[in-house]
Homo-oligomer: A and B are copies of this chain.
């Protein structure tokens, strides 16, 4: 006979461990092309969509982890297929162990010896990893009963750097460099957290500036933005120079001189064209020019930045990974860094990006809008303010007042500021009825 302990102990142990049960996916598409919300020079008719991941466990606590990749319509099914392909990497795993080492899981997924051929670290497969990683962060935050930003700001500098993969970064940022940045920000954490909870974080709005809107709508929305307390707006440009000059004139007149007006070309130009176009827009005191050309083109952005200085170049929403951000910073190719919550491989990679930006002293002004990007990215900016850069100076989070009603904990933006979220989670959970109602029929 076997000794009873050696049999029953592992079984009891096994029963105490919560496991990941399922990785559900949803192809969610909103028919936004009908209203031209979101129209710009490169994206005339987007259907804002989400390739959505929902992770369930057998913990019996009813908590799920939700994450997604934002897309603009066609191809969302491919993005969903990529998320589904990651199920074998998480199913059956010990929930506590996975959530306690999300840096380890990130490396496992991103450096998978076969999957990485599909990138490496870019495009559909990389963004799919981001959705799964973000869903796990959502689950972790819910289990801790805190909003994600407070989960992150409660970590020690050592715990934070353990989340980051420094591979390919060490020529400009080592683990020790990162620790030094985080330790320097430690003393002020509590004070900044209290500022955040009372004052929120500054926002700017893109709502007035879509290319598909006519002049009177532009004028009206600019005035409404200023009345709502925004101190910065953004206009889409790049389709037609005469139109842009006219629209900037309308916006400047409507906003007055005290409001910053950024412009966004959505990758429309080559180098020479960008420089000529921006020269024509110079009279309008442009706050920044966003995505002047191809988002992979470090050297082109650097050349444009030199030519149009002091107007800053902003980019990041299409930047595939931390190695690209590193180079843009090294080359002086961006002066405003616009990370995106669902373009790179999730929270962990965005922490690397925040550390890189802090190393170079470049402000992070995240890309948002789309589907749930405001809900997700606010946590990263707030974490940055409390624990990384320690500053909100020159920093604003994009805000578009659009599709928030589909989220369980929609952002609260009032008086031109994001209120610090207090609900547990990463902000990324969509309402079940929205998932159902906007499910894409193949």
Q: Which residues of A contact B (CB under 8 A)?
A: 42-47, 71-75, 77-79, 81-82, 85, 112-128, 167-171, 267, 270-272, 293-300, 303, 318, 320-321, 323-324, 326-327, 330-331
Contacts and interface: CB of A to CB of B under 8 A. Distances in A.
A128 to B, nearest CB: 8
A261 to B, nearest CB: 25
Given A42-B116, A46-B113, A168-B270, A121 B296 contact: yes
Contacts of A127: 118
A323 B303 contact: no
Contacts of A272: 170-171
Contacts of A71: 114, 117-118
Nearest to A270: B170
24 contacts: A42-B116, A46-B114, A71-B114, A72-B113, A72-B114, A75-B82, A75-B114, A78-B78, A78-B81, A78-B82, A78-B85, A78-B124, A78-B125, A78-B128, A120-B267, A121-B296, A123-B123, A168-B294, A168-B297, A168-B300, A171-B271, A171-B303, A294-B323, A296-B321
Contacts of A324: 296
The 10 closest A-B pairs by CB, nearest first: A123-B123, A124-B124, A73-B114, A74-B114, A81-B81, A171-B271, A168-B294, A72-B117, A170-B270, A78-B82
Most buried by B among A47, A121, A323: A323
A391 B300 CA distance: 30
Q: Chain A at the B interface: mostly helix, strand, loop or mixed?
A: loop
Given A122-B123, A170-B270, A77 B72 contact: no
A171 to B, nearest CB: 4
B74 A115 contact: yes
Given A71-B114, A72-B114, 8 more contacts: A46-B117, A74-B112, A75-B85, A75-B117, A75-B125, A123-B126, A168-B270, A296-B320
A327 B117 CA distance: 22
A118 B122 contact: no
Contacts of A300: 168, 171
A78 B114 contact: no
B303 A327 contact: no
A59 B155 CA distance: 65
A79 B323 contact: no
A293 B168 contact: yes
B114 A123 contact: no
A122 B323 contact: no
Contacts of A125: 75, 78, 123-124
A127 B114 CA distance: 16
A314 B414 CA distance: 53
Given A299-B330, A300-B168, A79 B294 contact: no
B294 A75 contact: no
Nearest to A171: B271
A241 to B, nearest CB: 18
Nearest to A331: B299
Contacts of A78: 78, 81-82, 85, 118, 124-125, 128
Contacts of A123: 118-119, 122-126, 320
Contacts of A72: 113-114, 117
Most buried by B among A116, A124, A303: A124
Contacts of A167: 270, 294
A318 B85 CA distance: 21
A27 to B, nearest CB: 12
A196 B112 CA distance: 41
Nearest to A42: B113
A105 B104 CA distance: 42
B85 A74 contact: yes
A44 B114 CA distance: 9
